[in-house]
Every structure is written in structure tokens, then in C-alpha cells.
Structure 1
Amino acid sequence: MTKSVKTILVGIGATGSIDCFTYLISLFGKTPRGILFVGRWLAYMPKGQFMHHTIIESQSIVNELLIGQIAHYGIGIAFAFLLVKLYGKMWLKTPKLGPALTIAIITLVPPLFILQPALGFGIAFSNMPQQGLLILKTSFIHVIYGIGLYLTAIAINRINNGPIKFKKIH
């Protein structure tokens, strides 16, 4: 398997770990709308609108959730490539949790300082009630992504290297 294919799979797996987590959260009645808002924001861009008073007040756009999901996975894959670029292809062969969590922290910069202001929520949710809680939730989701990078790389290596062989104990 090539380095690029492995990296794409790692990005998909890590992004999927966020989706699994948010699905579990939704079972308790909390429906995260971040992907929907990203899709709506991106769908407004061809119309020349990059900033919103608040994205919640902006009218829905057809396929905004699909657009958001495609962007979500594309960004997840892009950050997986950043991980491999910064730590080398050896990380793919022998993944370590530290570099994956470092990337998870780096991935907090765009949503807090670019996306949230563009959505009308302010820098790091400064225009929102419960700013601290929103930052904490966002941070936790990005840590899930970092753990997903690490665990997906391990899983790919296990699959790539064949079944696990157990030694007999004498």
C-alpha cells in the first residue's frame, strides 16, 4: 500500500471516529450541527458571501449537509497529510500517539480563528453564550480526531501485515 493511500485511509478513519463520537452523542438527544454549518458556509461562497451575521440565521441551502460532509472528510484527509509531512512516513509504519495529538491541537486553529468568526460566532466562540464550554467541546472532538489518526494507522498496519500471530506458551 502506498504512503498516499495509507494517509488517505488514516484521514478517513480519523474523521470517521469524530462521526462515530457525534453519533453516540446524538443518541442522548444532542444533535451537533457543525457539519451542517460548514456546508451552509461553503454553499454560500459561490454567491460571494464569506461572512455571516450568524450562520444559524442564514437560509438553508440545498445539499448543505452533503457539502459539509465532503468538506469534513477532505479536511480530515488534508490534516492526515500534514501529520505525515511533519513526522515522516515512518509515523505511518510505527504510529505514536504524541504526533497525532499534536496534529489534533493544530487542527483547532482553523475552526476557532477562521471558521467561527466567518459563521458569525466570533473568534473562539466569543459571541456565543457558554464560550468556554464550546471551546472545550471543540477541543474534545479534535482530540478524538487525534486518537482516530493513531488508532487508524495501527489498524491499517495490522491489516497490511496480515493476521496477528500468537506464540505458544510452553
Structure 2
Amino acid sequence: MFDFIWRSLAIGIGGTAAMDLWAIFLKAAFGVALPNWAMVGRWFAHLPRGTVFHKDIGKTEPVQNELAIGWIAHYAVGIVYGGILVLAAGPEWVKAPTFLPAFILGMVTIGAGWFLLQPGVGAGWAASLRPNPWTVRMFNILAHTVFAAGMFGTAWLISAY
């Protein structure tokens, strides 16, 4: 059990950190806005209150520490995905990781953003209510590819342990 926990933590954090570094690169190189983790935190904080979908999360009542909540949720979700990867790919993959299982999971996780988070914050299904939905979708696919590469890279680095 301890082996599963530490590998899930490492792989999930590694993938999430890779995604964050990618966002920083895009900001520095191309001026792409960084993710607004405060709004994600606000969305997560409103879930226990029974509200999943908001018309516009920016107009929803702010919550204390929403930025911290957003960052914690971002990494917690990454860790959960790391655990799913370790479970789904199995012990042989942990010993000799390959990119394909991480990539498949990375692509599957796009669905959580497109069909839960984005409509939850008022962006519509797969960002359909944004002025540039296809650009958002492209960046989602790229970010989750980087997430997959980060999970695979971390798994590969720790595979000897």
C-alpha cells in the first residue's frame, strides 16, 4: 500500500508540475494567460454547497482562500490521476513505464475539464461559450499531453525504486 501511495503522489505531482511549467513557458514565450486557480478554488468551494454548474463563476460569491483551494485541488486531482495510472497500468508498468498508458489517461482526463469543470465555471461544454472555444480546446489537449509526459517521465525516473 505504501508503494502505491508514494508512487501515486510522485507521478501525480510530477505530471501536474510539468503542466504548470508548460503554462509558465506559454506565458513567457507567447503571452498566454496563466490558469486562474482562484476561480477553480471558488468552484471547488461551492461544490459542498450543492452548486456544480455556475452561469459565471466570476460573479459567484467569493470564498476565503480560494486561490489556495484552487492550487490544492489542482495538485490533489493530479495525484488522484497518478493513482489511477498506477492502478490501471499495473505493477509491470511501474517497473518499466511506457508512454502510451500515461498518454491515454492524459487524453481521458481532458473530459473532466470539458464536461465538468468548464461548464461548472460557466464556460460551457468544452469551452463552447468562450469566444475562442477551439483555441481553448487545443491548449487543453496540449496541456494534458504535457501532463501525460510528466507522469511518464516521473514514473520512469522512479521506476528503479
> Taking structure 1 as the reference length, what is the TM-score of the superposition?
0.85
SS of aligned partner of 1:60: coil
CA distance in 1, matches of 2:76, 2:65: 17
Partner secondary structure for residue 27 of structure 1? helix
Cα displacement (A) at 1:65: 1.3
CA offsets, 1:85-143, max 9 Å, x none?
21112111101001110000110111101111111111111111111010111111111
Aligned position for 1:164? none
Instruction: Give 1:81's aligned residue.
Output: 83
Gaps of 5+ in 1: 161-170
Higher relative contact order structure (alpha carbons within 8 Å, sequence separation ≥ 6): 2
Give the Cα–Cα distance (whole angstroms) in 2 for the partners of residues 92 and 35 of structure 1. Answer: 31
The alignment status of 1:110 with 2:115, answered yes or no, reads no
Structure label with greater radius of gyration: 1
Which of the pair is proportionally richer in helix? Answer: 2
Q: Which runs of 5+ in 2 are unaligned?
A: none
1:126 maps to 128
Tell me the alpha carbon deviations over residues 36-63 of structure 1, each in whole angstroms, 9 at most, x when there is no partner.
2211111223444332111133343321
Matched residues in 1 for 2:44 and 2:6: separation?
Answer: 27
How does 1:50-65 map onto structure 2 within 5 Å? Answer: 50-65=52-67
Pairwise CA RMSD of aligned residues?
A: 1.7
TM-score for both structures, normalised by structure 2:
0.89
Distance 2:26 2:64 in 1: 25
